[in-house]
Amino acid sequence: MQTLLQAAALVPASIPSPSWSGFDIPLPWGSLRIHAYALCILAGIVLGLWLTAARWAKRGAPEGSVWDIVIWAIPFGIIGGRLYHVVSSPDAYFGPGFDGTGDLSLIPQIQRGGLGIWGAVVLGAVGAWIGCRRSGVKLSAFVDAAAPGLLLAQAVGRWGNWFNQELFGAPTTLPWGLQIDPNNANFPAGMPADTLFHPTFLYESLWNLAGVLILLALDRRFHFRRSRLFWLYAMYYTLGRVWIEAMRIDDAEQINLFGITTRLNVWTSIFVFLAALAAFILLGLKGRPEPDTVYLTGHGPERTAAAAAAAGTEDDVRSPDPVVSDSDSRGNLPDNQSGSRHASDPTESAEAAPAGSKPGTGATAAGTSGSTATGAASEAGPGK
């Protein structure tokens, strides 16, 4: 018991602020700053792609197609995420009330933090659609495979906010309260230096990790198709985002609807949840697609097999018969004149007929032989 008490005493009563936020790589013309925020985003992308690639392969997708898709989806997603952040938190870029006192040069500086998930999802889906069309696969099938991986990427990427000491919640006295450096620009003005804050980055990270397990379990049980697992992801994520977003105290665009003024991200989460719920129900009423394939119409293994069969048939038609050749048929005829002698020639028939046989019988036999030879020569003709 005493050992447990001693161990409990060693556990910090709060989550400390990170003292490290990146490192510099020396270059001949200066240095390149690698931010911890960017490393967290990159680690989330790698883990999310790993899970997505494994699930995509199990769906029977063409090998390597996941990379053909994400090479479009990731850049589009980053651009979309940044644009949404700029729109939802415009003061730093355009000034309060768009008075022009902001700094537009900050917009492309993603390393400082600020990626909005909804912009990332929307433009990322556009990029994924382009990649899917080029690969001949269905976007609905891909987003179902990617939904758990997307949550996993978000769970890991959220730790970048911890390194940047940003997007924390209201003050708290809970033992897992988050310390923020009083000298940090994000520290709320007028609050005591030892104030602890809700670690909303941690809440969302844990919520997303739990969501990964839930989505995998539900998909294993019900085998969702027609993008229903993606809409389930959207419902789950927004359900958590509403209460987590409501705890944050950082500057954000405030929107008044139905007499309620709250953050833009809260209203966005509510509307996305309702839209995702409607899509999930409507798609469920259509039933399972037949056949259940990841390929677009006109693509897939069956088309490849049909093309191979057609090519094989064409080769068979164009290739000469290996048994009967033109030279063989000519060698059996006199004077190298294919078909110059007719089976009805009486002299040849009489000479070929065995002793004691009737001439008519010999002619018939010779005629049969002549027809066979002539037919063989005609069959070999197209092979020239």
What's the pLDDT at 138? 95
Cis previous bond, 16, omega within 30: no
What's the pLDDT at 316? 52
What's the pLDDT at 349? 45
pLDDT tens column, 335-354: 544 444 444 454 444 444 44
What's the pLDDT at 92? 85
Cβ(55)–Cβ(145) below 8 Å: yes
Q: Taking the model in full, what pTM does it have? A: 0.73
What's the pLDDT at 219? 95
What's the pLDDT at 182? 94
Cβ neighbours of 165 (radius 10 Å): 21
Find, among 200, 202, 208, 188, the residue nearest to 245 by Cα: 200
Report residues of the chain scoring pLDDT below 50.
5, 7-10, 304-307, 317, 322-330, 333, 336-344, 346-384
